[in-house]
């Protein structure tokens, strides 16, 4: 079964080029160990938030940019094997390919796809989302997405993924659960929507907000704790 690895980190804005170089080498190294896809996305429209947000999640400073990253693996076993042997590849070793950001504030976890519509396109613009959903509401959330997500496609989105948490580690400084103030009976959903470009995203989101089919749709989660932002893909595999 396909497994999605999601990452969020804060990168000094001045290190953009260094991050792209680091991320490209890492993606190529993991590709040779079975990785089937990678999308490293640089924050372009990421609201600060007061209760929850991407910047709060990784304790981003004013001189840092939030990065939203996705690795796609053919299975959890392939992912685990690749991670276990990563240090054997200089492209994946922190000694030869050091991280140009604070690794202690990286948020990461593994997720299984619940719903996928469309397919990834070169470039584009990606809206990323993280939200807590009651563990008992997994199928309710899937049904909600099956109604709502086609509307996004109709209004111009080209690829949507909804993924359910299966391995969400607890971090020392931050993690996915703290990012959305998840309760013990809640799981994490990691999602994204790809658009052809930012202009299509802005126009599409405006149409979605005005679409009467979604106006009174009851959401199966606490929308006040949803975190979201817009990102430019800078490394794709």
56-77 confidence digits (pLDDT tens): 999 999 999 999 999 999 999 9
- 137 Cβ contact list (under 8 Å, min separation 6): 220, 221
Look at residues 160, 152, 175 and name the one whose alpha carbon lies nearest to residue 126: 160
Residue with tokens 């396909």, as numbered in its chain: 2
Which pLDDT band holds residue 193 (cuts at 50, 70, 90)?
very high
By three-state DSSP, how is residue 77 classified? helix
pLDDT band with cut points at 50, 70 and 90 for residue 86: confident
| Distance between CA atoms of residues 41 and 199, nearest Å | 17
pLDDT in tens, 123-175: 999 999 999 999 999 999 999 999 999 999 999 999 999 999 999 999 889 99
Tokens 């492209």 locate to 91
- Report the candidate in 175, 188, 171, 185 with the shortest Cα–Cα distance to residue 226: 188
List the domains of the chain with CATH numbers.
3-236 (3.30.70.100)
Contacts of 64 (CB under 8 A, 6+ apart): 10, 11, 12, 13, 101
Burial of 21 (0-12, 13-18, 19+ CB in 10 A): middle
Per the rule left: phi > 0, alpha: psi between -120 and 50, beta: everything else, 146 is alpha
- In this prediction the pTM is 0.95
CA distance 107 to 69: 10
Query: Is the pLDDT at 228 greater than 90, yes or no?
Result: yes
Whole-angstrom distance, CA of residue 235 vs CA of residue 50: 30
């Amino acid at each position: 079964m396909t497994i999605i690895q999601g990452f969020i980190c804060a990168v000094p804005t001045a290190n953009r080029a260094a991050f792209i170089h680091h991320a490209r080498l890492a993606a190529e190294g993991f590709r040779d160990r079975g990785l089937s896809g990678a999308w490293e996305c640089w924050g372009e429209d990421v609201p600060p938030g007061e209760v929850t947000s991407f910047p709060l999640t990784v304790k981003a400073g004013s001189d840092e940019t939030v990065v939203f990253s996705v690795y796609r693996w053919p299975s959890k076993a392939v992912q685990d094997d690749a991670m276990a042997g990563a240090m054997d590849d200089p492209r994946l070793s922190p000694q030869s390919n050091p991280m140009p950001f604070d690794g202690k504030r990286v948020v990461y976890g593994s997720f299984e796809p619940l719903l996928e519509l469309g397919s990834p396109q070169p470039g584009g613009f990606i809206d990323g989302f993280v939200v807590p959903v009651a563990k008992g509401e997994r199928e309710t959330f899937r049904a909600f997405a099956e109604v709502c997500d086609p509307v996004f496609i109709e209004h111009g989105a080209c690829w949507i993924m909804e993924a359910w948490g299966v391995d969400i580690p607890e971090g020392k400084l931050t993690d996915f659960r703290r990012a959305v103030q998840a309760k013990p009976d809640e799981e994490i959903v990691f999602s994204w929507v790809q658009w052809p470009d930012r202009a299509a995203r802005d126009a599409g989101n405006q149409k979605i907000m005005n679409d009467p089919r979604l106006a009174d749709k009851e959401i199966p989660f606490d929308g006040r704790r949803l975190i979201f932002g817009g990102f430019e893909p800078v490394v794709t595999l």
